[in-house]
Amino acid sequence: MASPPIAKGPQADVRVFPERLPTSGIFCPTSLKAWITAGIFLLVLGVYLLSGPGRIDIVDGEIRFDVALNWLVYRRPIVTDTWIGPAMSEPGREGLRYSYYGAPASAFSIPLIWLGLKTGPPPRIPSSQFFFSLTSAIIGAGVAPILFLFYLELGLTIRRALAWSMVSSFATYIWPISTSTFDNAQHAFFALAAVYFGFVAARRKSLAFALAGGAMAGTLILYQTYFLLIVPALALSTLEWRTDAASSLPIVPEMLVGRLQSHFQRTYRTVLSFSRAAWEGPGDARSSCLRYGLFLTSVVAATLVSFFYNHARFGSWLETGQLRNAMQTKHPLWGNPLIGFLTLLISPGKSIFLYSPVLILGGLGISRLWRRKPGLVTAIATSSLLLVLFLSCMAFAGGDWCWGPRYLTPLLPLWALAFPFVPPMKRRRELVLALVVLGFCVQGLALSVENQRFFFSRGLDDFFWAEDPWCYFKDSALFARPGEALSLFDGAPASAHVFNTIPIPQWTTYSILGTPPNVPRKLAPIWMRNFQIFFLPRPWPLWMLSLPPILRPIYMWIWLTLFLGITALGAGLIYLKLPARE
């Protein structure tokens, strides 16, 4: 096989890699790309649908379900839940109570709730809760096809793009968070979509794609206001500039400080020259700035929508109810930035590298990706830095009660873009394979057991992270999970007479409620032995089999067959359309 050609000119040290030749994904027929993209979505969607809990697994999801249900029934996003509503809502207009969460996580689930009300066995509420729990699975599965298309834009072959999109889908935290009623997987989808559209806008000099990217980023604002911090960084994907070859040289440990200093100096000069070129007259620099401005224009429009939503609920443009609720709970909002930073990066309980080990490949490949697309890497690095620094200052950086550092989920697909660009090194193949297998095993553990079992088995209070900021260095849900998973073979204890913890035993899909007021939390390890939910496998096809048919929230075999069919259809499309050789 002939060696790859060498680029001429000022970047002569940068090889034109084989995946950038006409056999690469960039040049594949549009119809072929569309079929494979659809197959990827269906395959990932089917697996996510089958591996989810099939019930609302956290009170955050339950309150969003209540808002969506009332939106559907009463045409107003009010809260009427009598169990968790008083603690997770605030009084607003006309004396009604409203959730302090944004609209999208409830609005996107309305069709699924309607489906549950129309197709489920009576009573229909558990069925609608089952389908609501699939919201993040559907949106989270959308990350995989966008990554696939993104990889093709970066010059990967179809097979490599497919392989790495599967790695991101099943070896990172995206998988378990997509099977939860937390909405962080939805954040990841819109963050990646925003950067993808911005990147395509830069490649094709398209103002329409810039507006589309801004719309995706603006949706993040409708979820949570703090995403305003990273949106300007995501918009950097619309810019296109070139850097000299020296600035893309790899950073070696023995010259780390000097190379970093030189790297930032060159980047600073590049930004200055870019700004000067945009000021002086028409050209690539000015068109980049126009795309950047249009991206942010869409964001501004979405921000105005969020203001109107606030006003409709609380009579104030800026009031979301979140700060008011946090002050009433009397737990601290801000924490020690150093503790938060170490918690997110290296703690046994919440390190992003432990819960997604394959992310290490992103760190190894980011320098090589910089050679090709410095604007893209700047967007990824800047948004990551801003989000990590912001979360480090929050007392609840871990985002509990949950599995892993869920607030960092939007960064995972962005860093997955660098996975294929791991530089040549000794035993690279073994390293990549080991991290991918380890990541897949970690996600498998995440899906095996009910997440809240860890917290109740230790008798932790609701705000344990505020009482001890170093708690994640002392206990780890990840390290405890292998033992919990093995205990599933023992089955539920004889004392577990009912499935869930709520007062209505027939409702198997309502969120877990904590210990009653007359039961101290330190007795939770004993209390939890009364409920099967903590001792049965987490995926819904498994725990639902253990219930009498009358208690199942859906017609199980019909939907199980349908979801298996979706998975098989996706795999079949990929198999039939994937090129035999590239």
User: Integer distance in angstroms from the first to the last C-alpha of the chain?
Assistant: 13
pLDDT in tens, 464-476: 998 899 999 999 9
DSSP 474: T
User: According to the model, what pLDDT value does residue 133 have?
Assistant: 97
Closest CA to 174 of 205, 217, 145: 145
Closest CA to 513 of 502, 525, 528: 502
Prior bond to 507 cis, omega within 30? no
Q: Using CA atoms of 496, 502, 507, 509 in order, give the dihedral in degrees to the nearest 10.
A: -90
CA distance 406 to 398: 7
pLDDT in tens, 195-248: 999 999 999 999 999 999 999 999 999 999 999 999 999 999 998 866 554 344
The 10 Å CB-count burial string (b at 16+, else e) for 490-501 is eebeeebeebbb
582 residues of the chain, pLDDT tens digit each: 444 443 444 333 333 333 333 345 566 678 889 999 999 999 999 999 999 999 999 999 999 999 999 999 999 999 999 999 999 999 999 999 999 999 999 999 999 999 999 999 988 999 999 999 999 999 999 999 999 999 999 999 999 999 999 999 999 999 999 999 999 999 999 999 999 999 999 999 999 999 999 999 999 999 999 999 999 999 999 988 665 543 444 444 444 455 555 555 555 455 555 555 554 555 567 788 899 999 999 999 999 999 999 999 999 999 888 888 877 777 888 999 999 999 999 999 999 999 999 999 999 999 999 988 988 999 999 999 999 999 999 999 999 999 999 999 999 999 999 999 999 888 899 999 999 999 999 999 999 999 999 999 999 999 999 889 999 999 999 999 999 999 999 999 999 989 999 988 888 999 999 999 999 999 999 999 999 999 999 999 999 999 999 999 999 999 999 999 999 999 999 999 998 776
The encoded tokens of residue 449 equal 């057991």
User: According to the model, what pLDDT value does residue 344 have?
Assistant: 97
Please check whether residue 263 is in contact with residue 251, taking contact to mean a CB–CB distance below 8 angstroms: yes
User: According to the model, what pLDDT value does residue 4 have?
Assistant: 42
Please check whether residue 439 is in contact with residue 173, taking contact to mean a CB–CB distance below 8 angstroms: no
The encoded tokens of residue 515 equal 């210990």
Closest CA to 143 of 72, 48, 25: 48
User: According to the model, what pLDDT value does residue 516 have?
Assistant: 93
CA distances from 496 to 147, 546, 553 (A): 44, 13, 20
